[in-house]
């Protein structure tokens, strides 16, 4: 029997239109209809199964556009777990996935873990064996063996990129991931951003992906490496901290989509466990990075937003996006429908529309007025299943109303 979930505000459709006091009808795993509370009265609510979520905003479940399963920046030595054995990595992935789900993230795009933990987890979540966000995964991230960084696998020549991409695709990944640059801008502004992949390496991965209709994303902050990515067919750029006005022109022309992770520079909670020299280096370039991210947001480029393994922090990322100049609605889109677009799941999730999966959350307050409402998740549903319902409990978290 269908159930009717009613709330003070409901953000409907891909444009997150606030329909006011409204309902969403859920039957099994799917949304069947949406409408105003007036309509609900006229069809005789007394005979229906109506669940009142009260003075909340009912909205799509959040989608983290850039996450990792086994790294966890809430803890010291976030990267340490990446060298653990498979059972230990799987256990960490299960913990972070469960935490993310309980923060209102019903789907997540994962940008590289090791040992194909992400592929295994995607199936465990899909089969209902382990709780977590529904996953879009890239398998083994590919970098040059000359490049720094610890998540991806270092590879020597273009053939190794083809081979690794082929293996990823055989295991059924949703997209491919390359690492073109590091994460920090050179402190001297006139210095070029170093990059690590030759055009033929990028081409090898991209063409392998296209054979299977899968796109390639690249960790890339900007500079010459960005131009190589664009020329060789990468269609999603992760981070983009060094993207300038001149780059934006090119990215707009080529329809390149961006995935922003502002918390890497803006989240004090993340700074806590970074080595002192990394923290200080980040602080020295923070203002330039923020100006560049603001430029992206103001430009009209498509972007989605992710936490980069700061689990349970997606609501804060949306807040940073607003601080960088986005309207609240656009910030919310960047952690719902736009993130679903990058995940390739926008036909199924990311907005409240009849026919889509019943992936939805209720938050206390109205995120279109106050973005921090996203931090006050009171109800979580995934595929029609109630994951948590705290709506009848008082909210004693700071900032709650």
Q: Which residues bind Zn ion (CB under 5 A)?
A: 111, 308
Cβ of residue 147: shortest distance to Zn ion, in angstroms? 14
Query: Shortest approach of Zn ion to residue 384 CB, angstroms?
Result: 31
In the complex, minimum distance from the CB of residue 271 to Zn ion, in angstroms, rounded to a whole number: 17
Q: Write down the least CB distance from residue 103 to Zn ion, Å.
A: 18
CA angle 49, 130, 335 (to 5 degrees): 70
Distance between CA atoms of residues 261 and 222, nearest Å: 14
Nearest to 365 by CA among 324, 332, 333: 332
The smaller minimum CB distance to Zn ion, of residues 9 and 68, is found at 68
Q: Which helix (H) or strand (E) holds 382?
A: strand 377-382
**Length, in residues, of the chain:** 401
- Indicate the residue among 97 and 352 with the shorter CB distance to Zn ion: 97
CB of 52 to Zn ion, least distance (A): 40
Reduced to 3 states (helix: H, G, I; strand: E, B; else coil), residue 161 is: helix
Residue (218 or 346) nearer to Zn ion, CB: 218
Report yes or no: 354 and 34 within 8 Å, Cβ to Cβ: yes
Question: Which one, of 216, 175, 350, 331, lies nearest residue 262 by Cα?
Answer: 331
Cβ contact 112:151 at 8 Å: yes
Instruction: Using the minimum distance from each CB to Zn ion, give the nearer residue, 308 or 341.
Output: 308
Exposure of 11 by Cβ count < 10 A (0-12 exposed, 13-18 middle, 19+ buried)?
buried
Shorter beta-carbon distance to Zn ion: residue 16 or 310: 310
In the complex with Zn ion, the residue whose CB is nearer, 19 or 220, is 220
* Closer residue to Zn ion in complex, CB, 72/308: 308
* β strands within 188-333, DSSP E: 216-220, 236-239, 257-260, 303-305
Q: In the bound complex, what is the minimum distance in angstroms from residue 308's beta carbon to Zn ion?
A: 4
141-160 burial by CB neighbour count: b if 16+ within 10 A, else e?
bbbbeebebebbebbeebeb
Residue environment code for 192-229, b if the CB has 16+ CB neighbours within 10 A, otherwise e: ebbbbbeeebbbbbbebbeeeebbbbbbbbbbebbebb
Nearer Cβ to Zn ion, position 111 or 137?
111
Cβ atoms 212, 169 nearer than 8 A: yes
Q: What crossing angle do the helices spanning 86-102 and 117-126 adopt, rounded to 10°?
A: 50
Q: How near is the Cβ of 324 to Zn ion at its closest, in Å?
A: 19
The answer to whether 302 touches 338, Cβ cutoff 8 Å, is: yes
Taking the complex as a whole, how short is the minimal distance between the CB of residue 325 and Zn ion, in angstroms? 23
Which candidate, 141, 132, 76, places its Cα nearest to that of 106? 132
- Is 112 or 132 the residue whose CB approaches Zn ion more closely? 112
Least separation in angstroms between residue 175's CB and Zn ion is 14
Task: Return the DSSP state at 78.
Answer: T
In 137-200, which ranges are E strands? 142-144, 153-155, 176-179
* Tokens 């295991």 sit on residue: 171
Question: In 3-state terms, what secondary structure has residue 389?
Answer: strand
Q: How far is the CB of 218 from Zn ion (least distance, A)?
A: 11
Please name every residue paired with 155 in a beta bridge, in sequence order, or none if there are none.
Answer: 144
Which of 261, 338 has the CB closer to Zn ion? 261
């Amino acid at each position: 029997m269908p159930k009717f979930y009613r709330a003070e505000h409901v953000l409907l459709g891909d444009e997150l239109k606030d329909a006011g006091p409204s309902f969403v009808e859920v039957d099994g795993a799917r949304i069947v209809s949406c409408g105003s509370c007036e309509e609900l009265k006229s069809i005789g609510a007394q005979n229906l199964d109506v669940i009142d979520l009260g003075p909340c905003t009912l909205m799509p479940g959040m989608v983290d556009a850039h996450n990792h399963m086994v790294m966890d920046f809430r803890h010291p030595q976030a990267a340490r777990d990446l060298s653990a054995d498979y059972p230990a990595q799987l256990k960490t992935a299960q913990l972070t996935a469960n935490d993310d789900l309980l923060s209102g993230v019903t789907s997540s795009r994962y940008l590289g873990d090791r040992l194909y933990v992400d592929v295994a987890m995607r199936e465990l979540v899909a089969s209902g064996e382990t709780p977590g966000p529904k996953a879009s995964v890239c398998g083994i991230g590919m970098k040059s063996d000359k490049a720094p960084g610890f998540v991806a696998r270092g590879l020597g020549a273009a053939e190794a990129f083809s081979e690794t991409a082929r293996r990823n695709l055989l295991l059924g990944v949703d997209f491919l991931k390359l690492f073109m640059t590091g994460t920090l801008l050179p402190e001297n502004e006139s210095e070029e951003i170093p990059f690590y992949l030759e055009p033929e390496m990028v081409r090898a991965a991209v063409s392998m992906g296209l054979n299977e209709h899968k796109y390639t994303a690249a960790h890339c902050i900007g500079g010459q490496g960005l131009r190589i990515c664009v020329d060789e067919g990468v269609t999603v750029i992760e981070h983009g901290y060094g993207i300038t006005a001149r780059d934006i022109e090119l990215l707009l022309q080529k329809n390149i989509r961006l995935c922003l992770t502002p918390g890497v520079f803006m989240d004090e909670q993340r700074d806590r466990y970074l080595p002192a020299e990394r923290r200080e280096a980040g602080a020295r370039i923070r203002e330039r990075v923020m100006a560049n991210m603001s430029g992206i947001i103001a430009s009209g480029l498509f972007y989605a937003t992710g936490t980069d393994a700061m689990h349970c922090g997606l609501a804060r990322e949306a807040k940073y996006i607003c601080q960088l100049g986005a309207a609240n609605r656009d910030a919310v889109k960047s952690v719902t429908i736009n993130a679903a677009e990058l995940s390739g799941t926008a036909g199924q999730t990311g907005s409240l529309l009849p026919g889509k999966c019943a992936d939805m959350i209720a938050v206390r307050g109205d995120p279109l007025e106050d973005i921090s409402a996203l931090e006050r998740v009171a109800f979580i549903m995934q595929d029609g299943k109630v994951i948590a319902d705290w709506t009848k409990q008082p909210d004693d978290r700071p900032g709650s109303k």
